Structure 1
C-alpha cells in the first residue's frame, strides 16, 4: 500500500510518500527545480515491492514541504530534517538512498547517525571534497519555470535524448511552476557556494561506518564521475562503485531495470545477515 501524508518534524510539516512494510529505506531526491520525493522515487518504490518500508519525503523547499520559518535550505537542515523524520516515524534503523544532492544528505546522515543508518546508496552523488560546480548543474539550478526551462534541464540530466518527451517536459514544467517560489530561495547566484555547502568534510566521511554503494553514470555531466564519485573512494571505509556506461545523471531513468536489481541486491544483504 502506498500513501501520501504529512509528518510534523520539529514543528514543521514534511510531505512524505510511504509504501510497504519491512526493513526501512529512506529515499532522498536531488535538487533540480520541480523535484519531489514521489516524482523521483515512486516508480522505483513500486518496482521494489511491498516488502520494504520505503519513505520518500519532499525535502525542505521542494514539493509540499516548506522551508521552516527562520531557516534556509542547506545540508544541515536537510540532514537534520531527514533524521527527525525517521525519529518521528519511530524507525530505529534504516538504509538511505540518495540521488545527487540527496546523496550528499544520505552520506551526512550516515556520519551523524552511525548507529541508525545501516547502508547507504549514493546515486550520482554530490558531496565529494573539492568537487567544482559544473556548468550543467549551474544551468539546472538557474532553469526558469516553464516548458523551455524544463526541456533544457531534462536534456542535461539524461544522455538518451529520446527520454526528453513532450509528456515529460510538460509534467516537469508544471512541477517547476508549482514550486518556483520556494526553489528561488535555495540556490541563488553565485551558485558555487551551494556546492561548497553540500561538500562533506573528510572528518564526516571518515565517521561513516555503514557500507556505501556509489552508483554513477559514465557520461554524467551534472556531477561528473571523475570529480564526484571517484574521490569518495579514498575517504570511505566500506565502499564500492558501480558505473553505468551510456548513462547520464539519472541511472534510475536511463537503466531502470538494472538499477533496481543493483539497489535491491545491495539492500537485501541486511535481510540476509
Structure 2
C-alpha cells in the first residue's frame, strides 16, 4: 500500500498523544486495529485503506498503547479507556458521527463506544470483536498465546511468529516475514514491555466490564451492525457471531470460510466490497 496520500498527525486527546492517518473524502470511517503484539493501524489495514478511501474519509489511528500513540491503558476498564480516547479523537477532529470498523480489540473499542454514546456512531462493522463470550470458560489457545506474549521469558521473534502463523490467520505461509519482523520490533518498545496494553483482567469487576454479553444495553443498541467472523478463528470463538446476531436488534452476521482472526487482511477484496456496500447502504 502506498502511504503517499496519507495525512499523518499526532493529536492531543485527554492529555495523551494519539497518532492518526487520514485519507479520502466522504462520510468518516474509523478503522480500529486489533491488540496483537506490535499492532498498528496502518499496518493492520494495509489492504483496506486505499479501497475504502475511494468512497469515504478514512481515519486510521494507532490505538492507545500501540504504534505512535501514547503508551499505557487503564487496566481496570480497558475497553472504556480505548473508547474514551477514540471518541476524544473525533472531538478534536470536529467529527460528530462516524462509521466504526473494528477488528478484535478494536472491535471491542468500537462496540463500547457505541454502547456508551450511540449518537456518535452511524454504523458498526465488527470483525471477531473481543469481549463477546471470551471472558467465560477457558480461553482459546490463540488468546492464551496472545496474553502470554510478554510473560515467561518475555517477547521473542519466535513467539510472535508462532502466534501469527498458528493462531492469527488461516494460512500462516501467506504472512510475509517482513511483516512479522516489523511487528516484533514494535512489540519490544521498552514502554510497551513495561506496561503491555493487552493483559489478563486484573479483577472480577474488570472481567465483568469486558464481557458485552453481560451488558443489558446490547439488546437496545439500534446501530446498524455488520458482524464478520472467520469460521476458523482461533483467538475469539466464532460462536460469538451468532451471539451478537441474537442479542443486537440490527445486526447482520457473516461467517467467512477459510479465514482466521484477521478477516480484513486474509479476505481483503471480499471484506472491502462487503464493507463498502454495507456502509453505503
- The TM-score, its normalising length taken from structure 1, stands at 0.89
**Distance across 2 between alignment mates of 1:179 and 1:138:** 22
**Compared CA separation, residues 160 and 170, structure 1 to 2 (3 A):** same
Q: Is the 8 A contact 1:61 1:183 kept in 2?
A: no
Task: Report the number of matched residues.
Answer: 267
**Distance across 2 between alignment mates of 1:136 and 1:219:** 11
**Compared CA separation, residues 162 and 183, structure 1 to 2 (3 A):** farther
In the alignment, which residue of structure 1 is the partner of 2:51?
47
Deviations 1:185-239 (A, max 9, x none): 434457896765432233231242110100011111101112x222111210101
| Cα displacement (A) at 1:103 | 0.9
| Cα displacement (A) at 1:128 | 1.9
In the alignment, structure 1 residue 162 sits paired with structure 2 residue 173: yes
Question: Structure 1 stretches of 5 or more lacking a match?
Answer: none
In the alignment, which residue of structure 1 is the partner of 2:102?
98
Q: Is the 8 A contact 2:72 2:197 kept in 1?
A: no
**Distance across 1 between alignment mates of 2:216 and 2:181:** 43
In the alignment, which residue of structure 2 is the partner of 1:85?
89
In the alignment, structure 1 residue 172 sits paired with structure 2 residue 183: yes
- Written as runs of structure 1 = structure 2, the 5 A alignment for 1:131-210 is 131-132=135-136, 133-143=139-149, 144-155=154-165, 156-178=167-189, 181=192, 184-189=195-200, 196-200=208-212, 201-210=214-223
**Distance across 2 between alignment mates of 1:190 and 1:84:** 24
**Compared CA separation, residues 154 and 142, structure 1 to 2 (3 A):** same
Q: Is the 8 A contact 1:158 1:250 kept in 2?
A: yes
- The TM-score, its normalising length taken from structure 2, stands at 0.87
**Distance across 1 between alignment mates of 2:259 and 2:23:** 28
Q: Which stretch of structure 1 is more off in the superposition, 2-11 or 180-189? A: 180-189
Q: Is the 8 A contact 1:151 1:164 kept in 2?
A: no
Q: Is the 8 A contact 1:26 1:55 kept in 2?
A: yes
In the alignment, which residue of structure 2 is the partner of 1:3?
7
